[in-house]
């Protein structure tokens, strides 16, 4: 299964599976794409995970990294946050690089931090 969170598949996977099943899904997904040379995994989708889904995202990425250790993984956090604001790379070794979402300030010159 591939697509984007807009397609609704992530909500179904997240809400209807255990942590073990989520990790297995990550392993399946990593195995599916590990031989493609131009893959990078970007999780998140402009949101910071709440406590209900934090462990599921972590298990998904650990499954990805287990079956596909060569492709990069990062997290697309909410407005005005970086990946490392959410996932400490000293703890979460799957985070290969930091991505920063600075849309509001960069594009509009306006600080929308009150909105987050």
Q: Using one digit for the tens of pLDDT, what is the confidence trace for 9-26?
A: 677 777 888 999 999 999
Q: What is the DSSP letter of 113?
A: G
| Angle, vertex CA 40, rays to CA 77 and CA 101, nearest 5 | 25
Structural domains in the chain, sorted by start: 5-115 (3.20.20.80)
Mean pLDDT along residues 88-97: 95
| Mean pLDDT score of the chain | 84
Number of CB atoms found within 10 A of residue 68's CB = 21
Locate the DSSP E strands across the chain: 40-43, 72-75
Total-model pTM = 0.78
Check: CB of residue 90 under 8 Å from CB of residue 49.
no
Rounded mean pLDDT of 71-98? 92
Instruction: Give the per-residue pLDDT at 12.
Output: 77
């Amino acid at each position: 299964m591939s697509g984007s969170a807009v397609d609704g598949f992530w909500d179904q996977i997240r809400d209807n599976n255990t942590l073990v099943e989520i990790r297995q899904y990550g392993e399946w997904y990593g195995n599916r794409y590990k031989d493609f040379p131009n893959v990078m995994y970007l999780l998140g989708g402009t949101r910071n995970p709440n406590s209900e889904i934090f462990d599921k995202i972590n298990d998904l990425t650990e499954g990805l990294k287990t079956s596909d250790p060569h492709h990069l993984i990062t997290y697309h956090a909410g407005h005005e946050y970086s990946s490392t604001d959410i996932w400490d790379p000293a703890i979460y070794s799957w985070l290969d690089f930091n991505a920063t979402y600075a849309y509001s300030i960069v594009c509009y010159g306006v600080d929308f931090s009150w909105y987050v």
